[in-house]
C-alpha cells in the first residue's frame, strides 16, 4: 500500500510539472538586456537569442522577445535600461549584466514589479534573480591544469583578462590563480585586459611584451588568443602555448599552426547559445515551473581531435556554438532539482 501511495504521489507531481511546463505563455513578453556587444562571442550570442526568440514568437509561445544592448558596458546605463523595460510592461528580463552587484537595485525593482529576471553569463547576486553560468573558476583552473600536463617543467605565464569589473572576468582569473598556486612551477609574470576582443588583446599584449621575460604559456578568457599570437609574432618572439577561446579566427590559426609545425593546444569557452537557454528558462518560469535559482551548464571544449569538426561548423568571424531548445532547458532544470 505504501509503495502504491508513493507511486500515486509521484505521478501527481509529474502531472503537475507537465501542466506547469505547458501552461500558456503566448501573451507574455520577454526582453534581453545585454551589456556589451563588441566582440564575436557577443554577436553570436545576440544572433542565437534572436533566432530562438523569433521562432518562439512565430510559434505563438510568447508574444514578443526583444533584445536591447547598452553601448559600453556601463552599469548605470543598463540599470536605466532595465527600468525602462519595467515601464514598457515586459513580463521577464533575460540579463547579461555589466556587474554582479551594481545592477542589483534595478533587478530588485523589476522583481518587485512582478517581472522574472534570469541572468546568464554575466550574472547578478540579487536573490530574487535566477542565474545561469558555467563554473568559470573551474574553466580558468582547467587552463593551468592543461598547461601543467603539457609543460611539466613550468615557466612564465602571461594572463589575458576580459572586461574589468565583470563577474566572468573575476571568476576565470580566480580559477587561473588557483591553478597556479597548485602548480607552483608556473609564475604569472604579466597580466593585461583584452576585453574579450582580438584587436584589444593584440594591442595590450604588444604593449607588455617588451617588459616580459620568456613566456611559455598564455592563459586567456576567450576572444584574445589570436590577438596574443599576432603580438608574439610581430615582436619576433617564439609562440608560446596559448589556450584559446573557441573563436573562428583562432581555431583557423590553430589548424594552420598544427599543419605547419604540429602545434597543439586546448580551446574552451561558454557557448554563446547560453542566451537561448536563458530564454527558455525564463519561459518555463513564466509558465509556472519551479526552477532552482542557480543553474550550471558545461563549457564548450575543443581539443586537437575535435578541432577540424569545430572549425567546419563555425562560421567565419563567429564562435563555436550550441543552441538550446525547450527540452534542453527542461533537462537542465530537472538536473538542478
Task: Report how many domains make up the chain.
Answer: 2
Same domain, 49 and 150: no
Contact between 185 and 209 (Cβ < 8 Å): no
Residue 212 lies in a domain: yes
Task: Give the per-residue pLDDT at 19.
Answer: 41
**What are 10-58's pLDDT values in tens digits?**
333 344 444 444 689 999 999 999 998 988 899 999 999 999 999 999 9
Same domain, 129 and 36: yes
Residue 279 lies in a domain: yes
At 71 the three-state DSSP class reads coil
Q: Is 197 left (phi over 0), alpha (psi -120 to 50) or beta?
A: beta
What residues contact residue 238 under an 8 Å CB cut-off, 6+ apart? Answer: 214, 232
Residue 304 lies in a domain: no
pLDDT (average), residues 143-169: 95
Task: Give the per-residue pLDDT at 240.
Answer: 98
Beta bridge partners of 95: 33, 119
295: CATH: 3.40.50.2300
Same domain, 90 and 193: no
Same domain, 156 and 256: yes
Same domain, 147 and 250: yes
The parent domain of residue 121 ranges over 24-134+271-299+320-336
Residue 96 has pLDDT above 60, yes or no: yes
Same domain, 66 and 166: no
Same domain, 244 and 127: no
Same domain, 227 and 247: yes
What is the pTM (predicted TM-score) of this model? 0.82
Same domain, 130 and 276: yes
Torsion, Cα 117 119 123 128, to 10 degrees, reads: 30
Same domain, 127 and 205: no
**What are 205-252's pLDDT values in tens digits?**
999 999 999 999 999 999 899 999 999 999 999 999 999 999 999 999
Residue 5 lies in a domain: no
Q: Please, which pLDDT band fits residue 8 given cuts at 50, 70 and 90?
A: very low
pLDDT (average), residues 54-75: 94
Q: Cα(244)–Cα(259) distance, rounded to whole angstroms?
A: 17
Q: Please, which pLDDT band fits residue 133 given cuts at 50, 70 and 90?
A: confident
Same domain, 59 and 142: no
Residue 92 has pLDDT above 50, yes or no: yes
Task: Give the per-residue pLDDT at 58.
Answer: 98
Task: Give the per-residue pLDDT at 68.
Answer: 96
Q: Cα(166)–Cα(123) distance, rounded to whole angstroms?
A: 9
20-29, 163-172, 308-317: segment of lowest average pLDDT: 20-29
Amino acid at each position: 500500500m505504501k509503495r502504491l501511495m508513493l507511486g500515486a504521489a509521484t505521478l501527481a507531481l509529474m502531472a503537475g510539472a507537465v501542466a506547469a511546463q505547458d501552461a500558456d505563455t503566448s501573451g507574455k513578453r520577454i526582453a534581453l538586456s545585454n551589456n556589451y556587444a563588441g566582440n564575436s562571442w557577443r554577436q553570436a550570442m545576440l544572433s542565437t537569442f534572436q533566432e530562438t526568440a523569433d521562432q518562439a514568437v512565430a510559434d505563438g509561445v510568447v508574444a514578443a522577445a526583444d533584445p536591447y544592448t547598452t553601448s559600453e558596458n556601463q552599469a548605470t546605463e543598463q540599470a536605466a535600461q532595465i527600468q525602462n523595460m519595467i515601464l514598457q510592461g515586459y513580463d521577464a528580463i533575460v540579463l547579461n549584466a555589466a556587474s554582479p552587484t551594481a545592477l542589483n537595485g534595478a533587478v530588485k525593482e523589476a522583481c518587485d514589479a512582478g517581472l522574472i529576471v534570469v541572468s546568464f553569463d554575466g550574472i547578478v547576486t540579487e536573490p530574487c534573480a535566477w542565474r545561469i553560468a558555467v563554473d568559470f573558476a573551474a574553466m580558468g583552473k582547467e587552463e593551468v591544469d592543461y598547461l601543467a600536463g603539457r609543460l611539466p617543467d613550468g615557466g612564465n605565464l602571461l594572463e589575458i583578462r576580459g572586461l574589468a569589473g565583470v563577474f566572468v572576468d573575476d571568476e576565470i582569473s580566480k580559477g587561473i590563480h588557483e591553478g597556479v598556486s597548485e602548480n607552483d612551477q608556473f609564475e604569472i609574470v604579466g597580466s593585461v585586459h583584452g576585453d574579450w576582443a582580438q584587436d584589444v588583446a593584440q594591442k595590450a599584449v604588444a604593449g607588455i611584451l617588451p617588459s616580459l621575460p620568456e613566456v611559455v604559456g598564455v592563459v586567456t578568457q576567450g576572444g584574445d588568443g589570436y590577438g596574443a599570437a599576432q603580438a608574439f609574432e610581430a615582436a619576433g618572439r617564439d609562440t608560446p602555448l596559448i589556450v584559446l577561446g573557441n573563436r573562428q579566427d583562432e581555431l583557423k590559426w590553430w589548424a594552420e599552426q598544427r599543419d605547419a609545425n604540429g602545434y597543439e593546444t586546448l580551446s574552451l569557452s561558454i557557448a554563446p547559445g547560453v542566451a537561448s537557454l536563458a530564454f527558455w528558462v525564463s519561459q518555463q518560469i513564466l509558465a509556472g515551473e519551479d526552477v532552482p535559482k542557480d543553474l550550471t551548464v558545461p563549457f564548450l571544449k575543443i581539443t586537437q581531435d575535435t578541432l577540424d569538426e569545430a572549425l567546419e561548423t563555425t562560421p567565419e568571424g563567429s564562435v563555436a556554438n550550441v543552441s538550446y531548445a525547450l527540452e534542453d532547458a527542461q533537462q537542465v532544470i530537472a538536473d538542478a532539482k
